[in-house]
Chain A
Amino acid sequence: MEKIIFFCTLLLVSLYAEESLSAKQQLQNNCLNCHTEDQIPNDLIFRRYLMKYSTEEAMSKAILKYLKDPQQKNSIMPHPFFSKFPMKEALNLNDATLKKNIHTFLETFAVKKKLVLPQ
């Protein structure tokens, strides 16, 4: 019985890890590869959205809007940002995939994960 529980747990953890790895991989492929290539500072974008929208839901909505229609008016990044970094083209991805990628992006930089109390 104990063995069965152990194997089930192991299976679930590996499935979750796989899924998580898969989500991160998807984000990497869909977004971050280009960002790295163009030297776009991901944390800067995240901080800017975080400072304006505060919640994950509001940030997610704002990023989705930009990703679906990448124009300067839909972005909160300042004008010089677009002089330095090229305006991206709209991704050929469905909403669900976009949302999943955004969520993974936000999770990567989530403030709750970074904050600690002093030792």
Chain B
Amino acid sequence: MSKSEKKSLIRFLLIYLGSTFLLFSIASWIFYTSQKHHLLDQQRDALKFEAAKFVTQLRTLHKTYASTLVYPVHSFVESAIYDLDKQYIFGTGTPAPLLDKKVYMANEKRLYYLTPVDPHYLGAAFLVVHKELDQEPIWELQKSIAWFLFAAGVFFTLLGVFLGRLFIAPMRESMERMNSFIQDTTHELNTPISTILTNIEMLETFGKCEKNDELQRIEIASKTLSRIYDDLTYLNLNHEYYRRIESINVSEFIKERMLYFTVMAEHKRLKIEVTIDKNVTLEIDKNDLTRLVDNLITNAIKYNKQDGLLKLTLTQESLSVMDTGVGIRKKDLDTIVCRFKRANKSEGGFGIGLDIVNQVVESYGFALDIHSKLDQGTEVVIKWKK
């Protein structure tokens, strides 16, 4: 993983885990508070029940009113009675603080339940029952929530790493494509430049030799360089480029371009079959047409076999360029028009040729069909109207 990928992954994880942790903390806190209330309610209900029992016992005592009144005592529960002025009358344990609330706590340790007594049996206007808060279920709840947060943290961290890798995959792919593009460009430029320099050197060294071969190689290399430059410029300036739409005689234009590539085709000893209908005319920008036709022809030359066949057919409805070259695998046919996609890396190139063709086809509303069989050849058909 590169440095920038690591940086992106860490940033993503920080944001993702931070927000997830915050969300889970809030949810856990809400859950904890509600569950704690629920647990306290249960204990309060128990106290409420004890208080009802106390009131009944106070009534009995009040009715008997014997010389000695034995105050009722319940296990685990303390109680106290107060008169109407909230003055302590009697009780067990330390007299409880008397608040106006029905249920209240002291130091999160004792739970109090206050109930009014009416009629005031034994003069008691208020009864307070209280007991030590049972912390065990609350601790259990805290423990469960802590375990849940820990498990969720581990799960979401793993999920985050997985998602992060998934998200940076396109970035990694782009970077790999970029690296590959730079390597291809270096190679593509290096080959014709080397060819030109070598042949010029040969011309200088062997001045008296037959110059046709060397000149031919220099011409091919120069044309290759020129085409690379044109393609890259086209891709780079495609959106800002001003198109001059004009009526172009495609029949004449293609003859001209075929002538241009003759040297290249002859170098590979290709058999060329050209069938061109007369006066096929299109309303199109000349540069777009050049890029379209040149890429189709150069692809057919480049990926053809030695002594292969290049068949070009132009009709009023379509243009078809067929070769008997390496062909394209069936699984690559759907993506072959994507930028930097190269189904076969045996030949040089950037993988931008069919991307440019596709762009022109889409711009003018043409239709592109590619038929290919591996090791048998490829036919690219462009229908002028959909």
Contacts and interface: CB of A to CB of B under 8 A. Distances in A.
| Chain A partners chain B | yes
B121 interface: yes
Given A58-B84, A115-B90, A52 B71 contact: no
Contacts of A51: 62, 119-121, 123
Chain A contact-residue range equals 10 to 19
Given A52-B119, A55-B87, A47 B69 contact: no
Contacts of A58: 84
Given A111-B69, A111-B123, A55 B85 contact: yes
**DSSP class of B's interface residues: helix, strand, loop or mixed?**
loop
B65 interface: yes
B89 interface: yes
Contacts of A50: 62, 120, 122-123
Nearest to B126: A54
Contact of B65 (A43, A53, A54, A118): A43
B125 interface: yes
A112 interface: yes
B67 A117 contact: no
B67 A114 contact: yes
B68 A114 contact: yes
Chain B CB within 10 Å — which of A51, A52, A54, A57 has the most?
A54
Nearest to A46: B65
A116 B68 CA distance: 7
Contacts of B123: 50-51, 54-55, 111
B83 interface: yes
A117 B90 CA distance: 9
B70 interface: yes
B92 to A, nearest CB: 7
Contacts of A55: 83-85, 87, 123
A55 B89 CA distance: 10
Interface in B224-249: none
Contacts of A116: 68-71
Contact of A111 (B70, B89, B92): B89
Interface string B84-97: 11010110100000
Interface string B78-115: 00000111010110100000000000000000000000
Interface string A29-58: 000000000000001000100111111011
B73 interface: yes
B321 interface: no
A117 B125 CA distance: 20
Contacts of A47: 62, 65
A117 B71 contact: yes
A79 B89 CA distance: 31
A43 B62 CA distance: 11
Interface of A: 43, 47, 50-55, 57-58, 111-112, 114-118
Interface pairs A-B: 4 shortest CB-CB? A54-B84, A54-B120, A115-B90, A51-B119
Given A115-B122, A118-B71, 14 more contacts: A50-B122, A51-B120, A51-B121, A54-B83, A54-B85, A54-B120, A54-B123, A55-B123, A111-B123, A112-B89, A114-B69, A115-B69, A116-B69, A117-B73
14 contacts: A47-B65, A50-B120, A50-B122, A51-B62, A51-B120, A52-B119, A53-B84, A54-B84, A54-B125, A55-B84, A111-B122, A115-B90, A117-B70, A118-B70
